[in-house]
């Protein structure tokens, strides 16, 4: 894990992000004191479209508009 100062991190930020994307980690220091760690994020699992659609349908079953009408909401600028 590389240790770099705030000034260097600011001036070389784009390069540092490229290196982080390749798996490298950095500790950012201010006056020699570590203040942050920049590291790659965990890869997100891609979900199947069918799962997403099912989740949206479950949400819609639980959350109703009550007595509100879609047309009224649109007219009020809420959608």
CATH numbers and ranges of domains, the chain: 2-38 (3.40.1620.10)
Q: How far apart are CA 79 and CA 31, in angstroms?
A: 49
- Residue 63 is predicted with a pLDDT of 80
- Residue 78 is predicted with a pLDDT of 62
Q: What is the mean pLDDT of each run of 10 residues along the chain (79 residues)?
A: 94 95 95 95 86 90 77 75
Closest CA to 4 of 28, 33, 40: 28
Q: Which two tokens stand for residue 75?
A: 């007219």
Number of other CB atoms surrounding residue 16 within 10 Å: 19
pTM above the 0.85 mark?
Answer: no
């Amino acid at each position: 894990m590389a240790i770099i100062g705030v000034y260097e991190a600011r001036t070389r930020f784009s390069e540092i992000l490229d290196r982080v994307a390749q798996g490298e980690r950095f500790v950012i220091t201010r006056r020699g004191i570590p203040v942050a760690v920049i590291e790659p994020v965990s890869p997100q699992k891609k979900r199947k479209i069918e799962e997403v659609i099912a989740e949206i349908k479950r949400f819609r079953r639980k959350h109703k508009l009550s007595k509100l009408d879609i047309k009224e909401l649109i007219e009020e600028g809420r959608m």
